[in-house]
């Protein structure tokens, strides 16, 4: 028996332990961030459990129906939103929440107010749940300027100001990817322990990838730089092999693959959606933050994605994110198009 290997397996780096280790680097820290993160992790565990039972519990497609006890059955995305809102408020560390599911921002009651703002999409890609495709939760954390008097302007900050960002993917396993501003780490839920264990330490995206990920069904509405880039992926003129197309249609799953294997994920603006489709605060910013922390890039077609200053909470933007060299190529095509105007 390999006792050394067994001993190694017992030294588990849980997400709580990892965050507490990070906390020791900041002597002035009071543990507020760690408490907040623990509540986010709890929300992810609950949603993970609900997603795996969704078919049995009829949790998809049934909002508005009533079950035998007379309780209204909730769609999974509505349920996930409630879970996260309650978990974040009960942490006592948040003052302002922005959710993809709620039209207005949620201001936390004075008695439960803390210094953090959380922006999140409780269940991204939920339209895919019926067919078993990976879906996920995306979140970003900001610090508030004035805890006692938070305003909507506090959340309309550039992605540059994020304190932390991450996503939790519910697929063949439940994976939580997190950055607190010093690299990216991936944790996998061990169902037997109910704990997220560090399985992907210090994720670095390859400098150049072999995969591109885009909805080619929109090709006829694309602008020239996007069209040229995708053409080059399929028919390279420099003798290199063509890139493979992989598109799941669930942002968390597509970005997760891009982060691990390299390549580029594109959601460009087009004639139908001139401002793009992805929401800036809780889709573009957290994913761009993670990409940059892993050594990649994120670009909107006009500027670095994290420099964008949103004007409203559900604002949308195009985005190109992934391996450094691949994003450089699309940036060069946009620069050439601008120069030709």
Is residue 1 predicted with pLDDT exceeding 60?
A: no
Is residue 24 predicted with pLDDT exceeding 90?
A: no
pLDDT band of residue 160 (cuts 50, 70, 90) is very high
CA 83/CA 67 separation, integer angstroms: 20
Is residue 62 predicted with pLDDT exceeding 70?
A: no
pLDDT band of residue 9 (cuts 50, 70, 90) is low
Is residue 315 predicted with pLDDT exceeding 60?
A: yes
Q: ∠62-65-66 over CA atoms, to 5°?
A: 130
For residue 142, what is the enclosing H or E element?
strand 135-143
CA 225/CA 335 separation, integer angstroms: 9
Classify domain 211-340 at the CATH topology level: D-Maltodextrin-Binding Protein; domain 2 (3.40.190)
Mean pLDDT of 214-233: 96
Least confident of 70-84, 280-294, 314-328: 70-84
Percentage with pLDDT > 90 across the chain: 78
Return the pLDDT at 180.
94
Is residue 6 predicted with pLDDT exceeding 50?
A: no
Instruction: Please report how many Cα atoms fall inside a 13 Å half-sphere around the Cα of residue 288, on the Cβ side.
Output: 29
- Which pTM was predicted? 0.93
Strand partners, 186: 177, 200
CA 40/CA 33 separation, integer angstroms: 11
Q: Assess contact for 118 and 89: CB atoms under 8 A.
A: no
Is residue 63 predicted with pLDDT exceeding 80?
A: no
DSSP state letter for 239: S
CATH for 15-200 is 3.30.540.10
Is residue 341 predicted with pLDDT exceeding 70?
A: yes
Return the pLDDT at 54.
76
Return the pLDDT at 56.
66
Is residue 57 predicted with pLDDT exceeding 50?
A: yes
Mean pLDDT of 279-293: 98
321: which 2 tokens? Answer: 């994110």
Return the pLDDT at 203.
98
168: which 2 tokens? Answer: 């939790």
Return the pLDDT at 146.
79
Q: Assess contact for 129 and 51: CB atoms under 8 A.
A: yes
CA 316/CA 318 separation, integer angstroms: 7
Mean confidence (pLDDT) of the chain: 91
Is residue 69 predicted with pLDDT exceeding 50?
A: no
Spans of all domains in the chain: 15-200, 211-340
Could you tell me whether strands 135-143 and 278-279 are parallel, antiparallel, or unpaired per DSSP bridges? unpaired
Mean pLDDT of 179-197: 95
Least confident of 5-19, 54-68, 116-130, 262-276: 54-68
For residue 107, what is the enclosing H or E element?
strand 106-107
Encode pLDDT of 73-132 as tens digits: 468 888 999 999 999 999 999 999 999 999 999 999 999 999 999 999 999 988 787 788
Percentage with pLDDT > 70 across the chain: 91
Encode pLDDT of 240-285 as tens digits: 999 999 999 999 999 999 999 999 999 999 999 999 999 999 999 9
Q: Which residues contact 39 (CB under 8 A, 6 or more apart)?
A: 87, 88, 90, 91, 93
């Amino acid at each position: 028996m390999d006792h050394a290997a067994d001993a190694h397996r017992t030294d588990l780096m849980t997400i709580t332990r990892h965050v507490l280790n990070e906390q020791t680097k900041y002597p002035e820290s009071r543990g507020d961030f760690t408490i907040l993160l623990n509540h986010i992790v709890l929300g992810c565990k609950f949603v993970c459990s609900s997603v795996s039972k969704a078919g049995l519990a009829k949790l998809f497609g049934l909002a508005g129906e009533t079950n035998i006890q007379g309780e209204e059955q909730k769609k999974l995305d509505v349920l996930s939103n409630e879970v996260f809102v309650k978990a974040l408020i009960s942490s006592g560390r948040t003052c302002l929440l922005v959710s993809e599911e709620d039209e207005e921002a949620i201001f936390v009651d004075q008695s439960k107010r803390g210094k953090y703002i959380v922006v999140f999409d409780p269940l991204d890609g939920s339209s895919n749940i019926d067919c078993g495709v990976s879906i996920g939760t995306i979140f970003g954390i900001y610090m508030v300027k004035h805890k006692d008097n938070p305003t909507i302007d506090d959340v309309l900050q550039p992605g540059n100001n994020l304190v932390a960002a991450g996503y939790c993917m519910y697929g063949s396993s439940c994976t939580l990817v997190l950055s607190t501003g010093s690299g990216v780490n991936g944790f996998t839920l061990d169902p037997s322990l109910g704990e997220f264990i560090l399985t992907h330490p210090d994720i670095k995206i390859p400098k150049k990838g072999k995969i591109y990920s885009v909805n080619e069904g929109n090709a006829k509405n694309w602008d020239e730089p996007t069209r040229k880039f995708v053409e080059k992926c399929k028919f390279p003129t420099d003798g290199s092999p063509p890139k493979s197309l992989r598109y799941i249609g669930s942002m968390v799953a597509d970005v997760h693959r891009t982060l691990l294997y390299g390549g580029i994920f594109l959601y460009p603006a087009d004639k139908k959606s001139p401002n793009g489709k992805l929401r800036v605060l809780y889709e573009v910013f957290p994913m761009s933050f993670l990409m940059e922390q892993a050594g990649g890039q994120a670009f909107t077609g006009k500027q670095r994605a994290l420099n964008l200053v949103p004007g409203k909470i559900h604002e949308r933007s195009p985005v190109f994110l992934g391996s450094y060299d691949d994003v450089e190529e699309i940036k060069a095509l946009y620069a050439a198009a601008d120069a030709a105007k």
